[in-house]
């Protein structure tokens, strides 16, 4: 239920209507029958998983970039299927390099197309080992050398180097090797992007799924409500004074007014392009590996839902070009930068968070971590059991 009226005396206030907060709310109501109020500074629920329908094309737009559900966690899969059915969408990514399209992740098809060869799996593996061998026995300090040591110079320079430079706005020779622990190379023709047991998209959209999670009269949602705005009653100072249990999913450094410093994030900007054609790329996601294209990838939303073809405009399509950059304080934080300095700073904030009375911190912003959707859901289910329910039973 979405409402502008709050419960008079909520038993629990959740700051943030993303996946973590919605899951906590659903669990608290189902298991303890409490009254929950969710507040969010945005004008919609769902956090970054929110989507809406584009009237011109009939495409479901993922407002904060492509969200693809996949998991191997049985508990999470059973949980989400309570609220939505999933399509049979299987994610496959392609990359444009030097005017040619290749399948990703790098697999035997990519290798044979790139080298104009017909290598067997064993031959391809031997080739990659040989090409990576120029840095054998070294301990690469830079991402550039690490990439070469993992997959060899030709493939690294074609598909990783410039893409990474655009992602980080930094030459890979100046980035630490720790950013890429591994680079997947498959010595078969499997170009399915994810390896998880289950994969798909919510059959009638993300927002419908998320609305069902909180379709209960004991859950109230207040949108466009700032937790730090003391002119509205559900603010940090007032709730702390009243001793109301809080689940906080906003930026952890913001909660403490940045008193130890700011954690660093990367953000993403999107440029929308509309085409007078039914299908522009022929796939949902196209990476652009070369430096002369300023964006990292393009998302064509219609191609996430081919089962909706009859509901989509056959003569129009919409594409979002994705540009990555370092985030300022007022930007949407997407990916934690996680330098050693950031990790040390977060450890200090984490210690402060653990000492905060009646407050549970969660989600990617609250724990300064990047999570896939299934990881957020699992974290929320565990956090409810171990932290939130004991708090409510006090």
Domain that holds residue 152: 93-179
Give me the catalytic one of 43, 78, 116, 182. Answer: 182
Catalytic residue list contains 182: yes
Asked if residue 374 is part of any domain, the answer here is yes
Q: How many residues are recorded in the chain?
A: 394
Asked if residue 39 is part of any domain, the answer here is yes
Q: Rounded to whole angstroms, how far apart are CA atoms 203 and 386?
A: 32
Catalytic residue list contains 92: no
Give me the catalytic one of 272, 277, 370, 385. Answer: 370
**Is residue 264 over pLDDT 50?**
yes
Asked if residue 388 is part of any domain, the answer here is yes
The pLDDT of residue 197 is 98
Catalytic residue list contains 322: yes
Q: Rounded to whole angstroms, how far apart are CA atoms 274 and 57?
A: 9
Q: Rounded to whole angstroms, how far apart are CA atoms 353 and 113?
A: 51
The pLDDT of residue 179 is 81
Give me the catalytic one of 145, 300, 322, 374. Answer: 322
**167-196 average pLDDT score:** 89
**191-206 average pLDDT score:** 97
Give me the catalytic one of 163, 186, 253, 368. Answer: 186
Structural contact between residues 266 and 325, judged by C-beta atoms closer than 8 angstroms: yes
> Is 132 in the same domain as 255?
no
Q: What is the pLDDT of residues 2-20, one digit of tens each?
A: 443 444 679 999 999 999 9
Q: Rounded to whole angstroms, how far apart are CA atoms 60 and 38?
A: 25
CATH number at residue 218: 3.40.50.720
**pLDDT class of 355 with cuts at 50, 70, 90:** very high
Q: What is the pLDDT of residues 34-48, one digit of tens each?
A: 999 999 999 999 999
- Which residues sit opposite 248 in a β-bridge? 15, 361
Asked if residue 270 is part of any domain, the answer here is no
Asked if residue 384 is part of any domain, the answer here is yes
Structural contact between residues 57 and 64, judged by C-beta atoms closer than 8 angstroms: no
Asked if residue 351 is part of any domain, the answer here is yes
> Is 23 in the same domain as 119?
no
Residue whose tokens read 């409810």: 384
Catalytic residue list contains 370: yes
> Is 37 in the same domain as 109?
no
Q: How far is CA 159 from CA 77, 109, 175, 269, in A?
A: 33, 14, 17, 22
Q: Rounded to whole angstroms, how far apart are CA atoms 14 and 87?
A: 30
Q: Rounded to whole angstroms, how far apart are CA atoms 378 and 53?
A: 28
Q: Around Cβ 209, how many Cβ atoms within 10 Å?
A: 24
> Is 167 in the same domain as 99?
yes
> Is 103 in the same domain as 158?
yes
**pLDDT class of 177 with cuts at 50, 70, 90:** confident
Question: Total domain count for the chain?
Answer: 2
> Is 107 in the same domain as 150?
yes
Cα 241 from chain centroid (whole Å): 34
Give me the catalytic one of 50, 156, 297, 374. Answer: 297
> Is 154 in the same domain as 220?
no
> Is 109 in the same domain as 168?
yes
**299-325 average pLDDT score:** 97
> Is 174 in the same domain as 221?
no
> Is 40 in the same domain as 171?
no
| DSSP codes, 296-353 | SEEEEGGGG-GGGGGGS-TT-EEEEEEEEEEPPTTSPP-EE---HHHHHHHHHHHHHH
> Is 363 in the same domain as 243?
yes
**143-170 average pLDDT score:** 92
Asked if residue 127 is part of any domain, the answer here is yes
Catalytic residue list contains 297: yes
Catalytic residue list contains 325: no
Asked if residue 67 is part of any domain, the answer here is no
Cis peptide before 105 (omega within 30 of 0): yes
Structural contact between residues 296 and 323, judged by C-beta atoms closer than 8 angstroms: yes
Give me the catalytic one of 266, 300, 368, 384. Answer: 266
Residue 332, both tokens: 């949407």
Catalytic residue list contains 266: yes
> Is 138 in the same domain as 228?
no
The residue among 154, 179, 204 that closes a domain is 179
The pLDDT of residue 213 is 98
What b-and-e string marks burial along 280-315, b requiring 16 or more CB atoms within 10 Å of the CB? Answer: bbebbbbbbbbeebebbbbbbbbbbbeebeeebeee
The pLDDT of residue 8 is 66
- Which residues sit opposite 285 in a β-bridge? 93, 299
Structural contact between residues 333 and 327, judged by C-beta atoms closer than 8 angstroms: yes
């Amino acid at each position: 239920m979405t409402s502008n009226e709050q419960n008079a005396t909520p038993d629990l206030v959740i700051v943030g209507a993303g996946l973590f907060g919605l899951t906590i709310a659903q669990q608290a109501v189902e298991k303890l029958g409490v009254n929950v109020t969710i507040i969010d500074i945005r004008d919609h629920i769902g956090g970054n998983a929110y989507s809406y329908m584009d009237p011109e094309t009939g495409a479901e737009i993922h407002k904060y970039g492509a969200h693809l559900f996949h998991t191997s966690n049985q508990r999470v899969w059973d949980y989400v299927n309570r609220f939505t059915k999933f399509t049979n969408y299987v994610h496959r990514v392609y990359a444009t390099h030097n005017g040619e399209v290749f399948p990703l992740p790098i697999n035997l098809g990519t290798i044979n197309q790139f080298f104009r060869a017909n290598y067997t799996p064993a031959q391809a593996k031997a080739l990659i080992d040989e090409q990576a061998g120029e840095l054998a026995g070294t301990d690469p300090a830079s991402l550039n050398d690490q990439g070469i040591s993992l997959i060899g110079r030709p493939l690294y320079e074609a598909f990783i180097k410039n893409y990474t430079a655009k992602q980080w706005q930094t030459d890979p020779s100046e980035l630490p090797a720790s950013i890429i622990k591994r680079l997947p190379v498959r010595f078969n023709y499997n170009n399915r992007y994810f390896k998880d047991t289950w994969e798909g998209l919510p059959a009638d959209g993300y927002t419908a799924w998320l609305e069902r999670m909180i379709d209960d009269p004991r859950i109230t949602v207040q949108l466009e409500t700032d937790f730090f705005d003391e002119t509205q009653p559900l603010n940090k100072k007032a709730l702390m004074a009243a001793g109301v249990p809080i689940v906080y999913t906003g930026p952890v450094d913001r909660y403490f007014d940045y008193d130890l410093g700011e954690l660093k994030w990367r953000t993403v900007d999107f440029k929308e392009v509309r085409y007078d054609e039914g299908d522009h790329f022929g796939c949902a996601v196209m990476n652009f590996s070369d430096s002369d294209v300023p964006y990292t990838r393009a998302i064509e939303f219609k191609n996430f839902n081919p089962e909706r073809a009859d509901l989509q405009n056959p003569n129009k399509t919409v594409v979002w070009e994705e540009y990555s950059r370092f985030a300022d304080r007022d930007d949407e934080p997407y990916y934690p930068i996680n330098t050693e300095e950031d990790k040390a700073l977060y450890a200090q904030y984490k210690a402060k968070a653990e000492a905060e009375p009646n407050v549970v911190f969660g989600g990617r912003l609250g724990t300064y971590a990047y999570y896939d959707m299934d990881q957020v859901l699992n974290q929320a289910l565990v956090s409810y059991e171990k932290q939130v329910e004991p708090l409510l039973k006090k």
